[in-house]
Chain A
Amino acid sequence: EAAVTQSPRNKVAVTGGKVTLSCNQTNNHNNMYWYRQDTGHGLRLIHYSYGAGSTEKGDIPDGYKASRPSQENFSLILELATPSQTSVYFCASGDSSYEQYFGPGTRLTVL
């Protein structure tokens, strides 16, 4: 059974609209992460969290917010979506060993 799930799996949004990507993990890991994946850039860290109520900026946080209301859930919020945010987004969970467990990804298209 999948331990990290993401919803939606595909999303089409309009420029200027609000988008929320959701992630749920059943690994009971303290750490959760949001990445985006783009050709030529690989995986880049947007936001991460060390536990419920905490969020930290990653390497490319501009234009994104994050929310960690519980151990299991971590959301990525695009308040004003732009076409440059068209990408595949991955959520991951991890513990202190650095090994991270990734979800299946969300393909976001901003028109």
Chain B
Amino acid sequence: GDSVTQTEGQVALSEEDFLTIHCNYSASGYPALFWYVQYPGEGPQFLFRASRDKEKGSSRGFEATYDKGTTSFHLRKASVQESDSAVYYCALGPSGYNKLTFGKGTVLLVSP
């Protein structure tokens, strides 16, 4: 079945550091790929999506590029802030179905 693997369970950075959270997927065809963010005490919220090979999604300084060759959708940000501390989820939506498969999430801790 479809699956999403996030390599890092937790990432600890200082403000202004560069962020990469790795996401790889396994699915047939061309699934849509997503990043969601969850702040403490809240439900997850949509960050951005990409639907085809080489498409870049971006929002709030975060970005990721759909790479079908490496089945990846890695999240990057050039300079993180303490307010970016949250849990980040990569997800995929198989074509033709309105449901998502989420990765296990990555906890990002940014210290001032």
Q: Measuring CB to CB, which residues of chain A are less than 8 angstroms from any residue of chain B?
A: 4, 31, 33, 35, 40-45, 48, 50, 58-59, 90, 92, 94-96, 98-105
Contact, CB under 8 Å: B43 / A96: no
Contact, CB under 8 Å: A104 / B42: yes
What is the bound-complex CA distance between A58 and B98, given in angstroms?
Answer: 12
Most buried by B among A4, A58, A98, A101: A98
Task: Select which of A42, A45, A59 is within 8 A of B104 by beta carbon.
Answer: A42
Kindly report which residue of chain B lies nearest to residue A91, judged by CB atoms: B43
Most buried by A among B34, B41, B105: B105
Contact, CB under 8 Å: A94 / B43: no
Kindly report which residue of chain B lies nearest to residue A30, judged by CB atoms: B98
Q: Measuring CB to CB, which residues of chain B are less than 8 angstroms from any residue of chain A?
A: 32, 34, 41-46, 49, 89, 93, 98-105
Contact, CB under 8 Å: A98 / B100: yes
Contact, CB under 8 Å: A99 / B98: no
Contact, CB under 8 Å: B99 / A33: yes
Task: Select which of A4, A31, A90 is within 8 A of B98 by beta carbon.
Answer: A31
Task: Select which of B49, B102, B105 is within 8 A of A99 by beta carbon.
Answer: B49
Tell me which residues across on chain A come within 8 A of B34, comparing CB atoms.
Answer: 98-99
What is the bound-complex CA distance between A50 and B96, given in angstroms?
Answer: 13
Contact, CB under 8 Å: B98 / A40: no
Shortest CB-to-CB span from A24 to chain B, Å, is 14
Contact, CB under 8 Å: B102 / A43: yes
Shortest CB-to-CB span from B31 to chain A, Å, is 10
Given A4-B43, A50-B98, A104-B42, 18 more pairs with CB closer than 8 A: A31-B99, A35-B102, A42-B102, A43-B44, A43-B105, A44-B102, A45-B99, A45-B101, A48-B99, A58-B99, A59-B101, A90-B43, A92-B43, A94-B98, A99-B34, A99-B49, A100-B100, A105-B42
